[in-house]
Structure 1
Amino acid sequence: MRNRLRALDSTIDVAMAGAGAMGRGLLHQCLATPAFRCVALADPDLETAIDCAEAADVPYEVVSDIGALHDCIRNGQMAVCKDAALAARANPAEVFIDASNAIQDAARFCPVALDHGKHLVMMNAEADLAFGPYLMQQAAEQGVTYASCDGDQHGVIKRLVDDLRLWGFDLVMAGNIKGYLDRYANPTSIIPEADKRNLDYHMCTAYTDGTKLGVEMALLANALNLKTPMPGMHGPKADHVREVHDLFDLEALWKEHGPVVDYILGAEPNGGVFAVGYCEDAYQQRMMEYYKRGEGPFYIFYRPYHLCHVEAMDAIATAVLDDRSLLQPEHGHVADVYAYAKKDLVPGDQLDGIGGYACYGLIENCANQDRQPGIPVTLADDVRVTTKIEKDEKIPVSAVEMDGDRADLQLYRKSLASCQAPTVEAFSEARP
């Protein structure tokens, strides 16, 4: 890909939402990768966007309207603004990257990018999960590509899965390796760890309480038609990924559920991912034993790292140059992540979203939801609880009130309808 990019006659112009940790990394990678140029960067905290541009030593100008934005780009500068919907309208940009952690705002600006003919690449896993089927459909109608980005765990696992399937193996398990889990972490308790890692407190909480893990694995489930064997997956503790054979009854899992998503906890290689493939071919089994992969027929393949923004550009370039997606929700809403109470909740309490004080998220199969399913954790922000809910109970849609005109709720409903999801009727009947 590098040689191909170097041979291009023109640049790949990028507009981006989000100037936090991920946006900062992606801007740096645009500078390091041949042919890429970031022409517009948006963040609701304008000072964060300015700091990002100055840290990267990129010439920029702050703009607030479309004319000034295009003048800025014509003058060879990067346009910096507060409104991602403005950046999404930048004429030179071929691709729009959502590197924010916004959900409600993403429901507004992501469709704008598609309406203006941009390929849409998601480094915002939460918005990707909530709205992906609808945005994928809209992208196809516009003749552009919708894709999850590379570098995060779900993208890296997808590449492992692509490899083992190319080799002739059947996928049995797509697996994540999580270092530490505390379902009750909150933005106060997480401060020491977040400060050490220079992370936003809500973001670090979402990593620690397992919500982000569920979101990543639900994205894989929706792309590859995988199931979770139980709400939240199993997640046994392990010392090393090689113990997967001993920790899971792979044959029984595969027979009951087909290919699944799951994870192991506390195992080496920390930061890695894995996939389990099945092969009963006698010749291949002899060769796999020779290659020290075991006797089979279940084989573990793993990668000891994922590098987030560092790995992202291949998937972005592929979307632009080949109109091909690394990962998208081709099977609709197979799985979702639903909100569970972190503490006892009473009427009048507010849910405060992903990485907050009130709830964590567990992945579940959408087909297992009844007519009043749980509220997706991606929508569980600024929502009022109407009945008593005990700690660790699932929070049903019928137990909350939210503004029915919210952009994220409306787009989520469109997403369910676009793929005739199992929960579409129940969710459309839920009271606002």
Structure 2
Amino acid sequence: MNLHAMLARRAADSRPVRVALIGAGKFGTMFLASARTTPGLHVMAVADLDPERARQAFSATGWPQGHADANTAAKALRHGTAWVTDDPHAAITAGGVDVVVEATGHPEPGLRHALWCLENGRHVVMVNVEADVLAGPLLARRFTDAGLVYSMAYGDQPALICEMVDWARACGLEVVAAGKGTKYLPDYHASTPDTVWGYYGLTPGQAREGGMNPKMFNSFLDGTKSAIEMAAVSNATGLAVPTAGLDFPPVGCDDLAKRLKPEADGGLLAEAGVVEVVSSLNRDGSAVPRDLRWGVYVTFRANGDYMARCFGEYGMATDESGRYGALYRPYHLIGLELGVSVASAALRGEPTGQCHGFTGDVVCIAKRDLKAGEVLDGEGGETVWGRLMPAEDSVAAGALPIGLAQGVPLTRPVRKGEVVTRAAVTLDRDSLAVRLRHDMESAFAAAPPEDIPGPP
């Protein structure tokens, strides 16, 4: 609770925490907006494949004229300006960088950038949850062994959920469920980039004018992003993954403690200690009262009669027994809160959430009947969506992780609703993402794969 004071001291000593941002999309731009008014933080370099987009991000967030005009890393360091480049390796390796924020959203480059950070002694804040779920446990172990921080991004829902779980456990409470809210109906799983805007009440033209990426928005809608985020939470906290995947029950804030508890005690859960996502819509499409669409939650159980009595004495909303309670946060501000992770990594040497194990995975499910020879188009596309699955089951089934499904050709047909297996595709053995995933499973899975399918 003293990060701001620590940053202020760094500012007073003219020793700001120097940051390289990789990816100037929405998350990165929001970080720039908050970093501008955070003492003790200096955004030294921004790398984006489109440097003009990075310059526009500075302009949109109110940075002074000329802040992004430095043309070398050395000049940026000397004058307190930001260097804009299309070369992420140059930004990561630039002298003086303390922390790298990886915000590209794509698994393969995200993993490559993380390895460059490891090789060059940089802490990394991995906004890229896709990369984190694909091989994060392995990266976290390597960073820890090197005395570096590999961290989830505060402000994004997984890190906020992990914080709530940590709070509950540090208070001696039994965590029963943890997760987030979203807008969900079962037919959303079939949504494609061509149909997504109708669900949001937009025309394709309006979406284009707003600069909205249809695949990204479709990933949020079709359930893939929720699965990815809950896999990250499971891997970071050890909370179990529901065997049949996320159920997305319609539950509002006032009913969290009443419904997100085990079936044996009148709730919806098969067991205690799981991740789950709640929907802001009832199955008939009507709105859930006081929904948690933008927020996060944790439900917990008192460890005895005295603690349960304290729940009542201090006004906690509980279930009928008085033994189950809930805490929730109705909003998250993604990149605007990211400075917490940067400061924690640089000043405390601590991550704001980190994968420690491999308990949850996200696998490809066919959105329609797929033919041999078709090429999968990955997260948010028109061919597959990502379902949460226990990692042990995923590895045993040889399921294809959603993070490896971009541009992958099918070698056999797959029916709608079936899991796409690795045996049904041709993977590039030279891909960094494929190799790191294989290494991660070999290190963490109970029964690791023998080899990577694909041509020799």
TM-score of the superposed pair, with normalisation by structure 1: 0.92
Q: Of 64, 68, 83, which aligns to 1:60?
A: 68
Task: Please tell me the residue identity of whatever aligns with 2:68.
Answer: Y
> Shift of residue 139 of structure 1?
1.1
1:241–1:269 Cα contact (<8 Å) kept: no
2:9 is aligned to: 7
Residue 281 (str. 1) matches residue 304 (str. 2): yes
CA distance in 1, matches of 2:218, 2:250: 20
Alpha carbons of structure 1 residues 240 and 384: separation in structure 2 relative to 1, 3 Å: same
Q: Which residue of 1 aligns with 2:177?
A: 173
Cα offset, 1:301, TM superposition:
1.7
Call closer, same or farther: CA 1:399–1:164 in 2, change over 3 Å: same
**Matching of residue 92 in structure 1 with residue 96 in structure 2:** yes
The Cα of 1:384 is off from its aligned counterpart by 0.3
| Other-structure match for 2:54 | 49
Which of 406, 425, 428 lines up with 2:449 in the alignment?
425
Show the counterpart of 1:389: 414
Q: Name the amino acid aligned to 2:276.
A: D
* Contact 2:6 2:347 (8 Å CA) reproduced: no
Match 2:37 to one of 18, 32, 36 = 32
1:47 Cα offset (Å): 2.4
Please, which of 228, 249, 264 is the counterpart of residue 278 of structure 2? 264
- Give the drift of 1:241: 4.8
What SS is found at the alignment partner of 1:39? strand
**SS in structure 2 opposite 1:338?**
strand
Matched residue of 2:389: which SS? strand
Alpha-carbon distance between aligned partners in 2 of 1:105 and 1:415, rounded to the nearest angstrom: 17
Whole-angstrom CA distance in 1 between matches of 2:256 and 2:43: 43
Q: Residues 122-146 of structure 1: CA distance to partner in whole angstroms, max 9, x if unpaired?
A: 1111111112112112212321111
Equivalent residues of 1:373, 1:423 under 8 A apart: no
Contact 2:369 2:416 in 1 (8 A): yes
| Residue segments in structure 2 that go unaligned for 5+ positions in a row | 281-287
Partner secondary structure for residue 109 of structure 1:
helix
Does the CA contact (< 8 Å) of 2:31 and 2:337 recur in 1? no
Letter in 1 for 2:27: M
Asked whether the 8 Å contact 1:372–1:397 carries over to 2, the reply is: no
Q: How does 1:249-328 map to 2 (within 5 A)?
A: 249-251=262-264, 257-266=271-280, 267=288, 268-290=291-313, 291-294=315-318, 295-328=321-354
Distance, in Å, in 2 between the alignment partners of 1:36 and 1:239 is 38
Structure 1 residue ranges without an equivalent (≥5): none
Q: Rate the CA distance shift 1:304–1:409 in 2: closer, same or farther, 3 A.
A: same
Corresponding residue to 2:148 among 132, 144, 150: 144
In structure 2, give the amino acid aligned to 1:369. Answer: S
- Cα deviation per residue 1:300-330 (whole Å; 9 max; x = unaligned)? 2211111111222112211111111121111
Tell me how far apart the structure 2 counterparts of residues 310 and 121 of structure 1 sit (CA, whole Å): 14
CA offset digits 1:314-357 (Å, max 9, x no partner):
122111111111211112x1111001111110001011111111
Residue number in structure 2 paired with 1:119? 123
> Once structures 1 and 2 are overlaid, which stretch shifts more, 287-296 or 268-277?
287-296
CA distance, structure 2, for counterparts of residue 370 and residue 191 of structure 1: 34
CA distance in 1: counterparts of 2:259 and 2:125, whole angstroms:
38
CA distance in 2, matches of 1:223, 1:105: 22
For residue 44 of structure 1, give the secondary structure of its aligned residue in structure 2.
Answer: coil
Q: Which residue identity lines up with residue 130 of structure 1 in the other structure?
A: L
- For residues 423 and 353 of structure 1, what CA distance do their matches in structure 2 show? 26
Pair 1:241–1:112, CA change in 2 (3 A): farther
Equivalent position SS for 1:32: coil
1:228 is matched with: 241
Aligned to 1:218: 231
Query: What is the one-letter code of the residue matched to 1:287?
Result: C
The secondary structure found in structure 1 opposite 2:338 is helix
Question: 1:99 & 1:204 partners in 2: Cα distance?
Answer: 16
Alpha-carbon shift at residue 76 of structure 1 (Å): 3.3
Does residue 407 of the first structure (1) align with residue 432 of the second (2)?
yes
Separation in 1 of the partners of 2:322 and 2:257?
13
- Counterparts in 2 of 1:389 and 1:247: CA distance versus 1, 3 Å: same
Between the aligned partners of 1:423 and 1:62, the Cα distance in structure 2 is: 51
Q: Which residue of 2 aligns with 1:184?
A: 190
Evaluate the alpha carbon distance shift between residue 45 and residue 297 of structure 1 in structure 2; reply closer, same or farther with a 3 A threshold: same
Aligned-pair CA distance for 1:81: 1.2
Whether the 8 Å contact between 2:44 and 2:73 is mirrored in structure 1 is: no
CA distance in structure 2 between the partners assigned to 1:241 and 1:404 by the alignment: 49
Distance 2:447 2:377 in 1: 23
Q: 2:241, 2:275 within 8 Å by CA — same for their partners in 1?
A: yes
| Residues 325 and 348 (structure 1), Cα distance of their counterparts in 2 relative to 1, 3 Å cut | same
> Is the contact between residue 179 and residue 271 of structure 1 (CA under 8 Å) also seen in structure 2?
no
Distance in 2, matches of 1:165 and 1:250, equals 22
Provide the rounded CA distance (Å) in 1 between the counterparts of 2:105 and 2:362: 16
In structure 2, relative to structure 1, the CA distance for the partners of 1:205 and 1:279 (3 Å cut) is same
Task: Please state how far the C-alpha of 1:239 moved relative to its aligned partner.
Answer: 4.5
Aligned counterparts of 1:164 and 1:251: Cα–Cα separation in 2: 22
2: CA distance between counterparts of 1:62 and 1:372?
Answer: 51
Deviation at 1:191, TM superposition (A): 3.6
> In structure 1, the residue corresponding to 2:407 is in which secondary structure?
strand
What is the SS of the residue equivalent to 2:107? coil
